[in-house]
Amino acid sequence: MTLFLRGGRLFQKGDGLMLDIRTQTFLTVCETMSYTKAAELLHVSQPAVSQHIRFLEENYHVRLFVRDKKTLYLTREGEALRRVALHTRNDEQNLIRGFRENRDGKREIRIGATITVGEFILPQLLADCMKKYPYSEVQATISNTRNLIRGLREGQLHMALVEGYFDRDEFESILYETERFAPYCGKEYVFSREIHKLDDLMAEPLIIREPGSGTREILEKSLMQVNRSLEDFRQTIQINSMYAIVHLLENNMGITFMYEAAAKTGIRHGRLREIPLENYSVSHDISMIWSAGSAFRDKYREDARRILGKA
Dihedral-angle region of residue 270 (phi above 0 means left; psi in -120 to 50 means alpha; beta otherwise):
left
Domain 103-177+286-307 identical in fold to domain 178-284: yes
CATH number of 103-177+286-307: 3.40.190.10
Domain 3-87+96-100 belongs to what topology? Arc Repressor Mutant, subunit A (1.10.10)
Taking the domains of the chain in order of start, what are their residue ranges? 3-87+96-100, 103-177+286-307, 178-284
For 180-224, how does the pLDDT look when each residue is reduced to its tens digit (9 = 90+)? 999 999 999 999 999 999 999 999 999 999 998 889 999 999 999
For 117-139, how does the pLDDT look when each residue is reduced to its tens digit (9 = 90+)? 998 899 999 888 888 877 667 88
Query: What Rg, from alpha-carbon coordinates, does the chain have?
Result: 23
Return mean pLDDT, the chain: 87
In 13-135 the beta strands, taken as DSSP E runs, fall at 16-20, 65-68, 71-74, 108-113
Low-confidence ranges of the chain (pLDDT < 50): 1-17
Domain 178-284 belongs to what topology? D-Maltodextrin-Binding Protein; domain 2 (3.40.190)
